[in-house]
Chain A
């Protein structure tokens, strides 16, 4: 009898729902059978996790959500021969509508490969981009990335190729590639999923970035809250080094590149690139003034590329398939795909990679299936804690950087947090201020002090004390924070605050019309 491969995700979210216990039970029940258990990444359909897959005839049959106690019955019903008899059987995994309707480029290998196996990575197109890059000049690699239209996926959407060009042109005795893996925004988990499910894409992207700008050293700055991603990255880096893709002679070429994983220490601000560099240098994560840009004087004063996980992990597919292939996805100046993340009160939460241009409504309802609570959806925060809260009137805005900016919002990294009609938007605005106060690095006064004053003003509004005057004060305070802060924390905390106030004024005790009122939701 030939061996049977069963995939059980090792992804944090899958494990948080019991995937490790499922894998243990499966191993125990199958110890006398020719079964290999591979711990893959999650496909990103989290309401189906733990989701098992059995390989049969070149396809994978999915079962989920599986609890440890389901295993004996699943085996009885013929799971190992890919029987579709079980009530938990979901059919061919790629045919699950939530997955089938996606356009996966960056996440093409997610859930497919064994995350720490170079052989598995190569078998699914891994290192094709790097091998092509090794035959190209640095200028041509940068040109390819510029041509693809890729913009920073961490939220700021700065063109990646232009950043690389600046570092390539900058003189420096040593250059660095720094991966910002400090994914601190609520509603985002794409970086974590990729680092746990397909970490070699990120590693390959960093090596290509090194070739492109002439850097020989890379750092991944990973947040402390992601212990499992840290373990997966360590294993993957070791395996890639073992296979000869890292070290003094990358894959036998004359180029050298190596990298190291560094762990943050629970400071949200370290997701800001200059603060991250300070932290990597062993200091307090206090934001630096720009200029100089990190591309000119970054880590240890040297020219440094700082890119987000998804930006770097998208580079291999651009190099492997060419800039036009990638650029053909998307709309306007937003090219390629974005890994949208459906979170909060949503029935089918998970990862949805799509070309730019779909609408929030499609994501929330066609993919997300509405709220998990079954109550009406009322507010949606897009782009993390510094993103605007949007009422239903804006849910048809196309997901495109410029279209969102035009309605006073941001696509950012594509994190989407849904709230039902039990949400109190004044409390959400207060939280935005309180969070800013908690996480401010302290450098800029409007952020450090203004956020605390913001909490107090909102509390006075809540108490009904001189509401009109305090609302004016809140607006002025937000203006001071926007204009007087060096980075996005102080500068953008006003987005959730003012959008909550503007779209959901009734929660602040303000009478009058509002597009997001409970009646219309």
Chain B
């Protein structure tokens, strides 16, 4: 072990096998390590134990309505660009039990107290609130756009007046092992949104991958404390330059761009342009974009009740503004067609989000373009609206 204390902000080098040991260290400290795993011709984020679970030797190729993995045969773990899943499923679970309730009938046996619940008597109802502890996640391989998305969701779910307890419990304990992107795909436009490809803080440790080693930047005391136990060494100036060059090249090879100079006004002030009618003809209102988007936050809470009406579970579930009855109230639906719903999504994401949270809602990850079954590209839509308006 080198007698050296890496300081916050410094960069050291690690042989790749050391990452395995770092992950094991995290796990033995109670973290649930989750990261990319190659499966179903895609990359999913799930529990991983070490390097062997990571997608070794893959790059990705993306376009509207298309995602492909390509095998490179190289010993590299992070050359792909993430697929449909984002880290939001861990901080903002797609389905979360709030409580279950059981209506007692006379003469019935009172049930045993279940683990991880808080019991409350409410008249004839016996309510068990979900009291299970939040997992301590260590996210492995977080890209700059994804970290930017987490910080956008922080603004949504952690407000000074109210916070979402489910999100906060998971966010507080989060360990972020970030990775700088070196091979952007055709749908990437993080540079336009000012979110990448290089990480700018907010992580615990940040990796830049080279052929034989990882450069590791220390982002926090927590990151430093885990790194301190590993066998790291000082990288040569040559290696640091090579890494910087690789990141610089990545920044210049973005697949797409989005001009944000006239946002949010361009969209908010043009709610009746013809373009909305045209995109509505193609959009299926399938809600894929909102599911894959790492900043979308809409949710619903619904009761699942048995046929006799004696037992119910109330769950919080992801929802989408594309859902036909998203805006339904008794007496009508304020967005009854695809045109109004698509318009809401885009004018919110690249428009009203700014007034609500101080930043635009898009981080330039491109997932909505890749995973739209009909390949609607919001960079193209914005450009088309701009052209229509200026004409």
- A and B associate in one complex: no
